[in-house]
Amino acid sequence: MKTLICDCNRTMPLDPPLRERLSQALAKTPGAQADGVTEPHTLLCRREAGAFQRAAKSGDDLVVACTQEARLFLELNEQTDGAPGIAERPIRFVDIRETGGWSKDARDAAPKIAALIAAAQLPDPDPVPTVSYRSQGRCLVVGGAEAAERAAAMLDDRLEPTLLVEHGALPQRRERAVMAGRLTRLTGWLGAFAAEWESGNPIDLDLCTRCNACVDACPEGAIDFGYQVDLSRCKSHRDCVKVCDAAGAIDFQRAPQSVGETFDLVLDLRDAPAFSMHQKPQGYFHPGRDERALVDAVLKLRELAGEFEKPKFFQYKPKLCAHSRNERIGCTACIDVCSASAIRSDASRKGKPKGEPAGGIVVEPHLCVGCGACSTVCPSGALAFAYPGTADQGRRLRTVLTAYRQAGGRDAALLLHSEGAGARLVGELGRAARVDRAVHGVPARVIPLPLWHTASAGIDLWLAAIAYGASQVWVLLTDEEAPEYRAALTDQMAVAKAILSGLGYAGEHLRLVEARDARDLAALDTALRAAPAQGVAQPATLAVQADKRATLDLVLDHLLTQAPQAAESIALPAAGAPFGSLAIDTDKCTLCLSCVGACPEGALADNPERPQLRFIERHCVQCGLCATTCPEQAITLQPRLWLADGGRARKAARVLHEVEPYRCIKCGKPFGTLKAIEAMLSKLSGHAAFQGAAADRLKMCGDCRVVDLYSNPNELKITDL
């Protein structure tokens, strides 16, 4: 692998010793390569472009430390004889200029540059399944007549627009399908929208020839060039019906009609959108009355005829899901956080294949936008982000922090940001630092790392980064993030902060950095210069697992061994806590064990030998299904992280409740609990069917009850069967 670096016309202080420092750092970083790092160039995209072409012809994998001229380098690769195509040999690009080379402490940024290059050298994650869309270009345009006609005219040559007008004058010439009515329902996504609208007007636009005879005949002027009757002004002269006799387009006796059709795309020009969620379905555009947004929407719509694919961003493991059991609802974190309304409850047991757990969720991949927030808030790991997976994200974190440390860097702060607005904001901060003496830029210890979406990384990856040696993890939030994401990330960070603080790590390790747009650059510049927090003395070498709970166990074990202070138990915030215990009200609990059957994670168990309720705290995800299932309401959740005996206690089974068994009055064998049998006897004591011998049979085990029944056949009742 060859890595080409450039000081961009000597605007970055890439001193001659840099290559040696980079090589040393990369040589010690697992998976990175040091032998291909070239001497820094000055104008790689212009005067020294030949160096890029020679590297391209070598056939080696290429990393170019410049993102500004990525398109130029790709074109140069195509024009270079003997150079492999992009399909055969991808070229990776990494930004070292705006992310550090233009900051005020750029001379100390060599460790960060080494870290960024090491991350760029990592192989691409394994491909994931895809979701397909097919659009034939049938586009529904909804809104006022004039605006809808103008928008449709811009789409005509690429799509097949159909207008649903709610008001306004129509042009005399009929150039496209036009319907009048009020949109009542819209569902679906790109290539599969189902629209319903209601029309109660006497004039049928499909039959109307726009001859204007009705406009001329109406004495009240209740009909205009929108070719619909204003019923509030109409006095029922019906002159319009007479002049439209041949066409038959006007019928005041026609009942209101509800019409439904399917479309591939929707352009909604009304003030209020048809969808209320933050992330609208792909293929739906709502520019409202914003002229610039309308032009942008039209340009995008024009490219949406054909077949398209996107990654399937998530993996779902129903057996781990703590949403529901036996039609009882527990955890709803993923449903609550999804800003695209792509997740719905499936708590019913009907129609479940044999072997599949009853209950769970359904994720519609066509609506999923890949934010990953559902995997961040999922306490059990049933939902996992797949683009890339957590194992790949963890490998990247470890590579970055290892290279940074090996190059002599200290107190690394990771700045996680989106590939869209977040990356643009970091770039704007870097450019501002280049020309404005008052702007510091991205500090040398702050390592920006782009994510597909900021909500796709949660507590497992944040704490893994701290275990790998990061001093801090900051998440940059811009105007891209939905309110649901902010709330979810805040709750998750509160849990992670409580754990680190409880273990004695000093300082603020985690923070949401708010910077919605370029107007917040000054605040962002200040926020990135925060003081470091206390990290681990010995960085971890563990690997992030695909299973979220397994990763958390490994990370917590390492943080505990490195902890500045011992802690037996750490109280956690109730919102978003993935760990905890249960409090049992022993006066209420009859040990019916309904909670054991409801627990989706196997945290609760019985004891075949004795009436006991046992609990393994490590497995509890605080979903609450046990509490909602308990008929006596005897269970209360206790969010916490229990670390007694070096964390081993939470991994072992312990008894939460134990009662005396009830023994059969015939053979003495225990067959239930004393409290449960006594409660049953008390409730049935006044029932006529459970008197005398029938009442005694309630006190017998199953075997003795059968023997007694057939020993006294004359006393056999229907209630005994």
- Give the range among 108-117, 343-352, 524-533, 558-567 with minimum mean pLDDT: 343-352
Pairing of strands 62-64, 193-199: unpaired
Identify the weakest region by mean pLDDT among 81-85, 254-258, 394-398, 632-636.
Answer: 254-258
Closest CA relative to residue 115, chosen from 405, 389, 537: 405
**Mean pLDDT for all residues in the chain:** 91
- Fold matches, 133-308 and 312-385: no
Does residue 362 have a pLDDT over 90? Answer: yes
Query: Cα angle vertex 700, ends 699, 706, to 5°?
Result: 135
- Alpha-carbon distance of 276 to 483, in angstroms, equals 13
Q: Encode pLDDT of 590-605 as tens digits.
A: 888 999 999 999 999 9
Q: Cα Rg for the chain, rounded, in angstroms?
A: 34
In the chain, pLDDT over 70 holds for what percent of residues?
A: 95
The pLDDT-based confidence of 426 (bands split at 50, 70, 90) is: very high
Distances (CA, A) of 658 to 608, 675, 681: 12, 11, 21
Strands (E), 421-477: 446-451, 472-477
Whether 358 has a pLDDT exceeding 80, the answer reads no
Domain boundaries, the chain: 1-93, 98-124+390-563, 133-308, 312-385, 579-658, 663-720
CATH topology of domain 579-658: Alpha-Beta Plaits (3.30.70)
426 contacts 442 by C-beta, under 8 angstroms: yes
What pLDDT was estimated at residue 685?
85
C-beta neighbour count of 702 within 10 angstroms? 10
Distance of CA 420 to the CA centre of its chain: 16
- Name the packing angle between helices 459-467 and 548-561 (round to 10°): 30
Higher pLDDT, 274 or 680: 274
What is d(CA 163, CA 149) in angstroms, rounded to the nearest whole number? 8
* pLDDT for 721: 47
Give the CATH number of domain 133-308; options: 3.30.70, 3.50.50, 1.25.40, 3.40.1000. Answer: 3.50.50
Q: By C-alpha distance, which of 585, 560, 584, 711 is closest to 645?
A: 560
Is the model more confident about 109 or about 686?
109
Residue 196 to residue 191: CA distance in whole angstroms: 16
Say which CATH class 312-385 falls into.
alpha beta
pTM score over 0.85: yes
- Tens digits of residue pLDDT in 467-507: 999 999 999 999 889 999 999 999 999 999 999 999 999 99
